[in-house]
Amino acid sequence: MRTAARIANNGKGNGKMRRSLRFHGATLVAVLLVMTALPVRAEERLRMSTTTSTENSGLLSVLLPLFEKECGCKVDVIAVGTGKALKLGEAGDVDVVFVHARKLEDKFVANGFGVNRRDVMYNDFVLVGPPGDPAGVGKTQSATEAFRAISAKGSPFISRGDESGTHRKEKEIWASAGIAPKGAWYVEAGQGMGEVLTMATQKRGYALSDRGTYIAFRKKTDLVVLRQGDANLWNPYGIIAVNPAKFPHAKYGLAMKLIAFVTGPEGQALISGYKVGGEQLFFVSGEGKKN
Amino acid sequence: MDFLVSSFAAALHLIGSFSPDVVDAARTSLAVSAGATVFAALFGVPVGLAVGLSGSRWKGFAVTALNTLMAVPTVVVGLFVYGFLSRQGPLGALGLLFTPTAIVIGGTLLASPIVANYTLASVRGADPRILPTALTLGAGRFRAVVTLVGEIRFGVFAAVIAGFGRVVAEVGVAMMLGGNIRGYTRTMTTAIALETSKGEFSFGMALGIVLMTVALIVNLFLSLLQRR
């Protein structure tokens, strides 16, 4: 009956009361913490979905701050694969998309989801593989032949497998080689470019990568470029405003300001001036392609 | 070994240098987790009490449902809330997707079943004589339940802390609903996922050590609060 005694005691004193006050105190502290940490930001926010390569290469952290200062706004970057980035635009969940898959971009515009598509920059895809090059990819004359050689040898090939721009390109090349890749050697990672390069390094396999991510990764991998410079390895990036006629809430004015900035002289100069380890990652139109 | 040593060195450096990215991520993590924990406590504790004290024949079903909800993967919760918050969903007009509020909503759904379940367990573990005794001593039904909560307060506290742990440690909801926006919805866990995807393993590991330190401080603070 100790419990009963305690309850009786508590009836007299007000220990319970104090204790519940303390509980309220903890709640109050938590609420205050939330309120101070999530300030209502007065500035306008522009939402941009983009491919992982623009963000992971570090380009956007050089490009966007200047624009944000000029327009007095914030750009919220959602970095996902090109396929998903376009899907976010189709749902009206973003205001502008910055991606690399020309055919999908044209379809996006044709279906009325986007307007004012502009070329921003380009780089190229490279076929990378282990230094020993077991499939002899270095001796082939085209990317298509290189893919055939990998499949014939059954060397591990790590595919993005995520409907990203790079994955689309890879599927195009398999199709042009007349091969439907299947089997234990064909690894569908379902992850970003960085993870795929890491996986290819660990599994001593081949992978198709955009040059930017590969350069950014070069210190962390022993993979080497084995095939590059083919016309079908060209990788142009485009920016598209989400159609305000379809999504009235989309911040079209701000989106157009961003488009004007990245395609204008200031943005273009920042893009071609951006270097990692002394190497230029992205090129703007009019610049010679380096291979 | 190199990897772990360099991670630890990087972590110390990060903590020492107060890098704004890390401070932002830690602040966002704490804020959304605290918010979600408060709401989860507001939903979860009453539900746990109600189920625990109920004599209904549906009780067994309710317990099973709570147990199942605890096992729901974070990405499923994320996907579910995403469906509501996307511009094409029923709540799309609010424009909440990719905001910290969205993470709080997802985190609340994630933590509530845990809080409810732990509360339920401590109700079951409590001395069965508490309620009848309080009632005999003249307490009303509500007053009697308040007395019970007072008796099992350590269990309820543990429930709330477990809820906080689940939210602060998860990555699925924060990534899907927050979008990992730098300086806005980037939490410690999504930052770790990003650094790992960039191949910056030591930096990711360092952030992990920072996260554990933050969790340690929060728990020390809470246990201090509990002891007083």
> Chain B residue with minimal CA distance to A33?
B31
The whole-angstrom distance between B179's CA and the closest CA on chain A is 5
Higher pLDDT, A45 or A16: A45
Residue A26 with chain B: CB contacts under 8 Å? 222, 225
Whether the pLDDT of residue A291 is over 50: the answer is: no
Q: Do A47 and B98 touch (CB under 8 A)?
A: yes
A230-251: pLDDT as tens digits: 999 999 999 999 999 999 999 9
For chain A, list residues whose CB is within 8 angstroms of any CB belonging to chain B. 3-4, 7-8, 10-11, 16, 19-20, 22-23, 25-27, 30-31, 33-34, 37-38, 45, 47, 52, 56, 61, 74, 76-79, 91-93, 191-192, 194-195, 197-198, 216-217, 220-221, 247, 249
Find the range with the poorest average confidence among A174-178, B54-58, B115-119.
B54-58
Report the pLDDT value the prediction gives residue B222, as an integer from 0 to 100: 81
Average pLDDT over residues A15-44: 56
Instruction: Select the CATH number that applies to the domain covering B31-188 from these four: 1.10.3720.10, 3.40.50.1100, 3.40.50.740, 1.10.10.10.
Output: 1.10.3720.10
B221: nearest CA partner in chain A:
A26
Q: Domains in chain A and their CATH numbers?
A: 45-122+236-280 (3.40.190.10), 124-233 (3.40.190.10)
Residue A81 clears pLDDT 90, i.e. is over it: no
With CB atoms and an 8 Å threshold, state whether A249 touches B95. Answer: yes
Q: Mean pLDDT over residues A196-224, rounded?
A: 91
**Which residues in chain A are contacts of B199 at CB distance < 8 A?**
194, 197-198, 217, 220-221
* Separation in Å, CA of B104 to nearest CA in chain A: 10
Q: Give residue-wise pLDDT tens across range B74-93.
A: 999 999 999 999 998 999 98
Tell me the mean pLDDT in the region A103-115. 96
Q: What is the pLDDT of residue A2?
A: 46
Looking at the complex, report in whole angstroms how far the Cα of residue A174 sits from the nearest Cα belonging to chain B: 26
Q: Which residue has 């082939």 as its token pair?
A: A140
Is residue A112 exposed (0-12), middle (13-18) or buried (19+ Cβ within 10 Å)? exposed
Percent of chain A whose pLDDT exceeds 90: 67
pLDDT of A1 reads: 41
- At residue A289, the pLDDT reads 44
Mean pLDDT across A262-279: 92
What is the arithmetic mean of pLDDT over B94-105?
A: 94
Q: What is the pLDDT of residues B46-72, one digit of tens each?
A: 999 999 998 888 999 999 999 999 999
Which residues of chain A make contact with B223, given a CB cutoff of 8 A? none
Each residue's pLDDT tens digit, B154-207: 899 999 999 999 999 999 999 999 999 988 999 999 999 988 888 788 888 888
pLDDT at A27: 61
Position B219 confidence tier, pLDDT thresholds 50, 70, 90: confident
Determine the Cα–Cα distance for residues A79 and A95; give it in Å rounded to an integer.
14
- Reduced to 3 states, what is the DSSP secondary structure of residue A140? coil
Q: Is the pLDDT of residue A10 over 50?
A: no
The Cα A164–Cα A52 span in angstroms is: 9
Arithmetic mean of pLDDT, A87-111: 95
What are the residues whose beta carbons fall under 8 Å from the beta carbon of A69, sequence distance 6 or more? none
Q: Is the minimum CB–CB distance between B150 and chain A shorter than 8 Å?
A: yes
Chain A residues in contact with B88 by the CB 8 A cut-off are: 91-92
Distance CA B176, CA A175 (A): 32
B124 near A CB under 8 A:
no
Please state, in angstroms and rounded to a whole number, the distance separating the CA atoms of residues A280 and A271: 9
* pLDDT tens digits along A38-58: 555 567 899 999 998 898 888
- The residues in B 46-85 lying below 8 A from A, measured between CB atoms, are none
Q: Is the pLDDT score of A16 beyond 90? A: no
Would the pLDDT of B128 be above 60? yes
- Whether the Cβ atoms of residue B74 and residue B110 lie closer than 8 Å to each other: yes
Is the complex ipTM more than 0.95?
no
* pLDDT given at position A22: 55
